[in-house]
């Protein structure tokens, strides 16, 4: 069975397909990160003219998942994308280079654009600060960027596609895990909403909880 995004569902409680779009300014290492995740290798030179979707199988929380990763070419405008990454993706990997302040500002703009476009604060976004190996060329403060990304409700990871394969693996896995958790919550919610009796029962239970809490608060406030 497939949903509106063409995701396949796995019957035995496995993981449904996950779509990840990788976005960021030119030359920040989007393709390098994707190739590192898919093949474990760092080549050094990547074709930046193409927009492409790659698929791989991976394990998330012990479940086999198929992950589709969109490498977006920076020179393309929204209309030229074969698939619109904003609607296509379940989660976003936003990459900037620690050697390039402008690329970090581009990521901040992207976060705002995505939050507006998706109107869903739960859409998982991971900001990856790439090229951490170029310590002497660092132009962006890590603690500040990390704190600001967390304020915007984003996950954050410091990575080096060239020198630290584990950091890249961990960034993709963390994002996939978060997408999976959000998808599971969404599925549970839509299952509940399709069953009025269950929804009503949950609402009654919540009302009773609220009432008990109110009573308890009014009692403790008299002390």
Ligand X SMILES: Nc1nc2c(ncn2[C@@H]2O[C@H](COP(=O)(O)OP(=O)(O)OP(=O)(O)O)[C@@H](O)[C@H]2O)c(=O)[nH]1
Nearer to ligand X, 42 or 88 (CB): 42
Q: Identify the residue among 26, 63, 118, 138 touching ligand X (CB under 6 A).
A: 26
Which segments of the chain does DSSP mark as H helices, in order? 30-39, 85-88, 101-118, 142-151, 165-193, 196-220
Nearest distance, CB of residue 171 and ligand X, angstroms: 12
Binding status of residue 58 toward ligand X by CB under 6 A: no
Strands of the 52-60 sheet, one edge to the other: 52-60, 63-71, 18-24, 91-97, 125-130, 155-158
Give the span between the Cα atoms of 20 and 84, in whole angstroms: 12
The span of 21-29, 79-87, 149-157, 195-203 binding ligand X (CB under 6 A) equals 21-29
Residues 174 and 61: beta-carbon distance below 8 Å: no
Considering only 18, 32, 106, 128, the residue that binds ligand X (CB under 6 A) is 32
For residues 42-68, b (16+ Cβ closer than 10 Å) or e, as one string?
Answer: beeeeeeeebebbeeebebeeeebbbb
76 binds ligand X (CB under 6 A): no
Among 70, 125, 127, 131, binds ligand X (CB under 6 A): 131
Considering the rule CB under 6 A, would residue 134 count as an interface residue with ligand X?
yes
Say how far apart CA 208 and CA 135 lie, in whole Å: 56
Question: Judged by CB under 6 A, which stretch of 20-28, 86-94, 110-118, 201-209 contacts ligand X?
Answer: 20-28
- Provide CB contacts within 8 A for 41, sequence distance 6+: 35
Which position among 38, 46, 66, 165 is part of the footprint of ligand X (CB under 6 A)? 46
Measure the CA–CA gap between 172 and 2, rounded to whole angstroms.
23
Q: Measured from the CB of residue 60, what is the shortest distance to ligand X in angstroms?
A: 24
Interface pick for ligand X out of 5, 7, 48, 88 (rule CB under 6 A): 48
Q: From CA 210, how far away is CA 133, in angstroms rounded?
A: 52
74 touching ligand X, by CB under 6 A: yes
Residues 143-202 that bind ligand X (CB under 6 A): 160-162
What is the closest distance, in whole angstroms, from the C-beta atom of residue 146 to ligand X in the complex?
17
State the number of binding residues for ligand X (CB under 6 A): 20
Under the rule (CB under 6 A), what is the footprint of ligand X? 24, 26-32, 44, 46, 48, 73-74, 130-131, 133-134, 160-162
């Amino acid at each position: 069975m497939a949903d509106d995004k063409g995701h396949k569902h796995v019957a035995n409680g496995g993981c449904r397909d996950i779509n990840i779009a990788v976005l960021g300014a030119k030359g920040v290492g989007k393709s390098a990160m994707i190739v590192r995740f898919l093949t474990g290798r760092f080549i050094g030179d990547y074709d930046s003219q193409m927009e492409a979707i790659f698929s791989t199988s991976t394990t998330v929380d012990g479940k086999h998942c198929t992950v589709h990763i969109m490498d977006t070419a920076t020179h393309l405008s929204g209309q030229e994308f074969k698939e619109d990454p904003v609607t296509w993706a379940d989660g976003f990997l936003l990459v900037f280079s620690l050697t390039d302040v402008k690329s970090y500002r581009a990521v901040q703009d992207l976060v705002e654009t995505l939050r507006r476009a998706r109107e869903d604060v739960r859409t998982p976004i991971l900001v990856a600060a790439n090229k951490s190996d170029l310590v002497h060329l660092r132009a962006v403060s890590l603690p500040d960027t990390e704190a600001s990304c967390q304020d915007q409700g984003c996950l954050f990871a410091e990575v080096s596609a060239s020198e630290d394969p584990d950091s890249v693996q961990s960034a993709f896995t963390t994002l996939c895990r978060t997408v999976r958790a959000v998808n599971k919550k969404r599925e549970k919610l839509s299952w509940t909403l399709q069953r009025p009796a269950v929804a009503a029962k949950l609402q009654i239970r919540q009302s009773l909880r609220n009432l008990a809490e109110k009573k308890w608060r009014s009692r403790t406030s008299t002390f």
